[in-house]
Each structure stands twice: as structure tokens, then as C-alpha cells.
Amino acid sequence: MDESTNVLAWPTCPGYMTVKPLSTKSPCKVWLIRRESDQQYMVLKLSLTMENVASQRIHNVNAARKYVVDSYGMLSTQLGDGLLMEYCPGGSLAALMARRSNFTLAECVTALAPIAQAIAGLHAAGMRHGDISPSNIMLTAQGMPKIIDFQEASLSQDAAEVAGTPGFIAPETFTGAGEEELGARDVFALGSCLWYLLDGEPPDEPHYRPPVRVQFPGVPEIIQELLADSLDEDPLQRPTADQFARTLFSSIPAAPIHWEGFIDTDSNQLMDTIHPDVAARTKHRRAGSRRKAGKTSTVIPGDSGSWHGHRLRRTPGGAKVVAALAIGGIAIAASFLGVKYLLPGQPPDPAAQGAVPGETPGCRILDVGEVPACSFEADTVIASFLALSAARDRAMNSGDSSALRKIYVEDSEQLQRDRETLDSMRKLKLRFNGLETKLEDVSIQARGSADTVILQALSTHSSYTYVDAAGTLRHQVGAGDPERIQVEVELVDGQWFLGTVLSRSD
């Protein structure tokens, strides 16, 4: 079963939210998670191999640490222990190359020279990487490269076993011979990476490879020589990793790697690089602010869109229509689709009763290799969320506060807000008519502990009216603008309930 859709197969740990799988392999061993205390994104690797040991040992090599993905220690989940590592939102150089044109030489300096420096530090400490490739060079939020996936285990494995990425493996590796010069295979891989970034394909085998001067006539001669020497069949003829780095640095001034528009949309917001168009708009706004200096702006109370600052008061007699207008703002602002920032409520009571049919109570996935039949696919969770939203609309239109208990987790703050809205409407002898929430583009965003799932959707409320006890129309409200929302749903005794509204945006 695919872990990307099987929500309850995702690893969980108190204090962390599981955002998404970062691998297409099944069972998935690499996940993007977010620490709730500071909202920091990290990578969780569940496969406990010698790579994890190597990654932690790298931190003893000060010369290499700056351009090596940080390791934060171990984390226990219901699927076993995993290694917490730094998240690089820019993705790998291989993924970036798949979406854009070849690198310029100046970009190659930025991408590979620091990595070669880090590798030189490892070699000086008697270690090697073992699998340098564009797939294992990541871009940080600042657009700088960092290396991952150390294969130090290959030093202690059978000599006939080949470790590395095809296209970036030194030819002597296939002979099963030992490494005469420590790090020579890493240098071959660095040369292959440089060839790949400039050409778009890794170098062919020596007998089929065109001469460097023919393949790259436009690059400086010093780089042509660096490529030829790094890819030499004789390991003793290759430069050291330090010489590789120094040659790259001296060839041409480095330039920022152009990633804008070529990485995942979800990761784009985490990157620190300033886009030229954003900078231009910022400059324009600042200029506009200077032109408006000295002018007085008007602040409208409650304009933030939050329910704070809008208190319902009993309005006598003929002011009911005016009160209804105020309630209209409250009904939408206090709805679970309109609150901008709500604090989490109390944990759900296991004895809470649900209205949406669920699966067998106690359905939990404790082992990634054993997926029970009661596991929930993403479509099941989304369908339950849509059903809960529709049930809430019916409860708000009918004024039935008791029905809300079957929709929200017990003691939910949002449950209390909806109840207050209905109580105020009752005092005014008014009710909603035709209030309906349209949810589009619904998707799973993360999974937390205690079977909590975060969904994202585009929400729009329909036009609706206020009517009195006789059914007389007292006021009409137009349809709202679409909003992007994030909402928690919680699984309690096999049934889903609405939880906290985490955010909203236009």
C-alpha cells in the first residue's frame, strides 16, 4: 500500500508533525516532519544503516561540517527509531537539473567547490564519502550546497560489492580492488558531477567519452584539464579533493544557483533567496510609503478578520436587522473556516461520540511492513472531512447546538465559538438560511500524534439569509471570497472529528 495516501502508515512522535513522504519507494523510509515547538522542518530517516553512523561521525570533522547536512540525533516513532537530519528545501541538484537547463560554470563553482572542500576535510580525517552524485547534493534555504548519504560502510563491506550512483562510480570500483589512494574515487565522482552539471548527462565510459576539449570548447582551459584529470582511469593521476576545490574557485567568480521557478511550490516559501520581482515590488512599496508620509491612516476596528473585538450583545426591538449584520460577520469569522489563528483546544476525550461512520475502533498501524485492512486512505479522510463540514452547515442552519457535539472533538475552542453564535441568534429570534461551505482542492498536509491529520482546502461560503421565527427575510449576505485554510481532524474510536483551525489566507 502506498504510504503517500495511507495516512495512518505515516510515522508519528509527540511534539512533531509528519508533513509528507520524501521518497517514492515503498516502504518509505524518508519523511519530512515539522517540530511543533518552533515549526522547524527536518528530515526523518527510518532506515538505520551505517550511513547514519557515518553521518554522525562527520560532525567530528570540523573542516567538513559547514557543507554537510546536519544531524540532530535519533527520534523514536511507532515505526521504530530514525535519524533526524537537516531539511534542505531547495532539493537536490539532480532534481533541479531535471527542471531547468544546464548550469553555467559560475554556478558550478557555487555548487561543487564547497562540497569538494568538505570532502577534502573527510579525506584528511581518514574517511571518504563513497556516493557523491547530484542526487546527494542538496540546496539549503540560502541556496548553498550540502552533501548527504554517506556510504562509509563500503570500506568494511565485501570488496566485490559496488556502492555508489551509476554514472558517478570510478571504473576501478568494478574490479573489486582496494582504493590505493584514499579519496580518489570521490574525486572521480566530483569530476563526473561537474561534467553532468555542464552537459546535462554524466560522462560515458572512457572508451566512448569524447575529448573534454571537444565536449566543452567554451570553458577555460584550466577546467578542461581539471575534468580530464579527475576522470582519469588511473586513480593516482587524479587531483586531490582540495586541489579540485581550489581549481574551481580560481577559474571564474562564483554566481548564485538559479533555482527560482524550478523547485516544488511547497518548498519555495522556505527559501531565503530574494526574487528580483519581489525586490522590485518591495522597492515600489517603500517608495509609495515615502510619498504617503505624513498622511493619517484610518484603522477599522476588527478589520483583522479575527473574531476578537466583535462581541455579540442583545439588541432590542427594531435593531434586530443591525444585530443580524453584526452576527453575519461573527458567523463567518467564528466559523471553523474563518478563524485566522486559534490556539489548540484540550485533547479529545476517548469517550466522545461521533456522527460520521468510521472504521473499526483501535485501527492503528504499528509496523510499516504490516498494514491492516482498516487503514485509512487519504480519500477516506478527505471524504470524512467533507461530511463533517456539511454536517456543521446543517447544524448552523437549523440552530441545533447539540448536533455540533457530534462534529467537533470534545472541548474544542471552535465548538464553543459556534455554540456562542447560535445562542446569540436564538436570543435575537433569528436563524441562518442557506449557509453552505464549498470546499475545493482538499489535500492532506501532515499527520500528528494521537491520530491527528491536517488538511488544506480552498473554502468559499455561499450567499445566505437571516430569517425570523416566521420565516421572514431580515437580511441577505453575498457569497464570500475563497480562502485557503488548514484544519485538523482527529480520529477518536474509529471516527473522525473536526479539531483546531490552524490558519487561513486569501
Rounded CA separation 498/485 (Å)? 13
**Residues 413 and 343: beta-carbon distance below 8 Å:** yes
Fold exhibited by the domain 93-268? Transferase(Phosphotransferase); domain 1 (1.10.510)
CATH 3.10.450.50 occupies which residues in the chain?
Answer: 317-505
243: nearest Cα among 197, 187, 192: 187
The amino acid present at 130, given as its one-letter code, is G
Architecture of domain 317-505: Roll (3.10)
CB 157 within 8 A of CB 278: no
CB 84 within 8 A of CB 32: no
Closest CA to 182 of 131, 241, 134: 241
How many Cα atoms occupy the beta-carbon half-sphere of 205 within 13 Å? 5
Q: How far apart are CA 385 and CA 115, in angstroms?
A: 46
Spell out the per-residue pLDDT of the chain, length 506, in tens.
456 667 878 899 999 999 988 876 667 788 999 999 998 999 998 865 544 545 555 555 555 578 988 888 889 998 888 889 999 999 999 999 999 999 999 999 999 999 999 999 889 888 888 899 999 999 999 999 999 876 543 443 434 455 678 999 999 888 776 677 889 999 999 999 999 999 999 999 988 999 999 999 999 999 999 999 999 999 999 999 999 999 999 999 999 999 988 888 777 778 875 444 444 433 344 344 433 334 333 332 333 332 222 233 333 344 444 455 555 555 554 454 443 322 333 333 333 333 343 333 344 444 434 444 445 678 888 999 999 999 999 999 999 999 998 999 988 888 999 999 999 999 999 999 999 999 999 998 888 877 889 999 999 989 999 999 888 998 889 998 999 999 999 988 888 999 988 888 87
pLDDT tens column, 460-481: 989 999 999 888 998 889 998 9
The closest alpha carbon to 17, from 502, 372, 361, 386, belongs to 502
Please, where in the chain does CATH 1.10.510.10 lie? 93-268
Fold of the domain built from segment(s) 7-86: Phosphorylase Kinase; domain 1 (3.30.200)
| Burial zone of 470 (CB within 10 Å; 0-12 exposed, 13-18 middle, 19+ buried) | exposed
Q: How many helices (H) and strands (E) does the chain have?
A: 13, 14
What's the rounded Cα separation, in Å, for the pair 259 and 145?
A: 12
Phi, psi of 294 (to 5 degrees): 95, -20
Q: Which regions of the chain carry the CATH code 3.30.200.20?
A: 7-86
> Which cell is 96 given?
533541479
Distance CA 475, CA 468 (A): 10
Please answer whether residues 385 and 379 qualify as being in contact, where contact means their C-beta atoms are separated by less than 8 angstroms: no
Distance CA 376, CA 495 (A): 11
Which are the contacts of 502, defined by CB distance < 8 A and separation ≥ 6? 342, 454, 486, 487, 488
- Judge whether 375 and 367 are in contact, CB under 8 Å: no
Residue 398 phi, psi (nearest 5): -85, -15
